[in-house]
């Protein structure tokens, strides 16, 4: 079936594999064609003549832990990836973990949550949190780095897109100490973030200006798109917090990844149950096409 749209379904096989029964149910609900298996038990495409009603898709899923992303079939493979870091490429919030070494994790995490939910101005909230860490020995940065864990699929996502000619950028409201290391570990082409200031021994409680916020993330998307001569449709952005919303909205494909409610409600595509491999399946890659991480 040569269809103009596709519904990509992705499950975590270790939790609840994607079954033929579920695929048949989604096909009936959407009027789709025979499914194309991208990864047995994990991912499949259902070709469609029209974009499906999201409510019908949710009803047909019957609360199964499956991510469903509907897109035009043409131009699925993107040539630019812009990714948030905290709670997206890595599993936690690096600033919250750093605060743990000052005995302030609960207090700072509460501010982080409100900021990521869009309840606070990002720049003001960042300055407040960094200010609370004044006097913390810089050795805590290394100790925090030892706690950092990559989100499943991060390396595969970046390696596969780069292998197919895409530019990959890590753009974070966090700090260069961490983004530089994460970028090198995962394989991003470049990284941008904020500079956490110190005097060589302890944190000064300040962050270098200007602060990289939601507007800067959006601007980076537009800058890299123009630099590489790309169209909007050729771009992909992924993130979880309110400071990611502008870049998600301006990307050809903006994906809210295990996102805060305000972000999930606004995003055109969401990943709620699976890992970053889903971003490759959404682009039409089969698991056998993934580059070695």
Which of 86, 191, 66 lies closest to 129 in space, CA to CA? 86
The stretch 224-233 carries a mean pLDDT of 98
Selecting among 84, 213, 244, 250, the annotated active-site residue is 84
Q: What angle do CA 81, 83, 86 make, to 5 degrees?
A: 165
Q: How far is CA 259 from CA 239, 264, 280, in A?
A: 7, 6, 18
Query: If 0-12 CB within 10 Å is exposed, 13-18 middle and 19+ buried, where does residue 269 land?
Result: buried
Which of 197, 207, 218 lies closest to 84 in space, CA to CA? 218
Write down the architecture of domain 76-293 according to CATH. Answer: 3-Layer(aba) Sandwich (3.40)
Q: Judge whether residue 239 has pLDDT over 70.
A: yes
| Per-residue model confidence (pLDDT) at position 1 | 58
pLDDT digits (tens, 9 = 90+) for 14-72: 999 999 999 999 999 999 999 999 999 999 999 999 999 999 999 999 999 999 999 99
| Per-residue model confidence (pLDDT) at position 128 | 97
Q: Judge whether residue 268 has pLDDT over 90.
A: no
Q: Specify whether the CB–CB gap between 21 and 62 falls below 8 A.
A: no
* Percent of the chain surpassing pLDDT 70: 100
Q: pTM of the full predicted structure? A: 0.96
**CA count, 13 A, side-chain hemisphere, 223:** 10
Q: Judge whether residue 292 has pLDDT over 90.
A: no
| Per-residue model confidence (pLDDT) at position 2 | 81
Average pLDDT of the residues of the chain: 97
Instruction: Based on the residue annotation, tell me whether 215 is a catalytic residue of this protein.
Output: no
Selecting among 12, 45, 67, 86, the annotated active-site residue is 86
Concatenated DSSP letters of 97-109: HHHHTTT-HHHHH
Q: Judge whether residue 261 has pLDDT over 80.
A: yes
Q: How far is CA 261 from CA 12, 109, 241, 256, 265, in A?
A: 22, 17, 9, 10, 6
Instruction: Based on the residue annotation, tell me whether 84 is a catalytic residue of this protein.
Output: yes
CB atoms closer than 10 angstroms to residue 278: 28
* Residues forming CATH 3.30.70 domain(s) in the chain: 1-74
Structure tokens at 237: 């952005």
Q: What is the topology classification, in CATH, of domain 1-74?
A: Alpha-Beta Plaits (3.30.70)
Report the alpha-carbon distance of residue 247 to residue 243 in Å, rounded: 8
pLDDT digits (tens, 9 = 90+) for 142-201: 999 999 999 999 999 999 999 999 999 999 999 999 999 999 999 999 999 999 999 999
* Residues forming CATH 3.40.50.1000 domain(s) in the chain: 76-293
Question: Please, which residues have CB within 8 angstroms of residue 27's CB and are 6 or more apart in sequence?
Answer: 33, 34, 35, 46
């Amino acid at each position: 079936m040569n269809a103009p749209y596709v519904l990509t379904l992705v499950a975590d096989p270790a939790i609840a594999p994607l079954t033929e029964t579920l695929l048949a149910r989604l096909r009936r609900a959407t009027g789709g064609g025979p499914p194309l298996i991208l990864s047995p038990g994990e991912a499949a495409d259902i070709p469609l003549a029209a974009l499906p009603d999201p409510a019908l898709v949710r009803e047909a899923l019957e609360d199964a832990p499956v991510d469903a992303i509907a897109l035009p079939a043409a131009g699925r493979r993107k040539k630019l990836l812009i990714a948030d870091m905290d709670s997206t490429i890595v599993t936690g919030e690096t600033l919250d973990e750093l605060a743990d070494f000052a005995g302030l994790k609960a207090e700072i995490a509460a501010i982080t949550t409100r900021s990521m939910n869009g309840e606070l101005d990002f720049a003001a909230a960042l300055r407040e949190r960094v200010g609370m860490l004044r006097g913390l020995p810089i050795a805590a940065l290394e100790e925090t780095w030892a706690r950092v864990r990559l989100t499943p699929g991060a390396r595969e996502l970046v390696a596969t897109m780069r292998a197919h000619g895409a530019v990959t950028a890590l753009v974070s409201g966090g700090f260069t100490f961490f983004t530089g290391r994460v970028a090198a570990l995962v394989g991003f082409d470049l990284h941008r973030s904020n500079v956490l200031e110190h005097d060589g021994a302890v944190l000064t409680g300040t962050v270098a200006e200007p602060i990289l916020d939601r507007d800067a993330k959006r601007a980076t998307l537009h800058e890299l798109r123009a630099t590489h001569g790309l169209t909007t449709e050729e771009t992909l952005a992924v993130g979880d917090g309110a400071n990611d919303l502008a870049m998600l909205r301006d990307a050809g494909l903006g994906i809210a990844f295990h996102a805060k409610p305000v972000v999930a409600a606004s995003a055109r595509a969401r990943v709620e149950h699976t890992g970053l491999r889903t971003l490759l399946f959404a682009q039409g890659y089969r698991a056998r096409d993934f580059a070695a991480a």
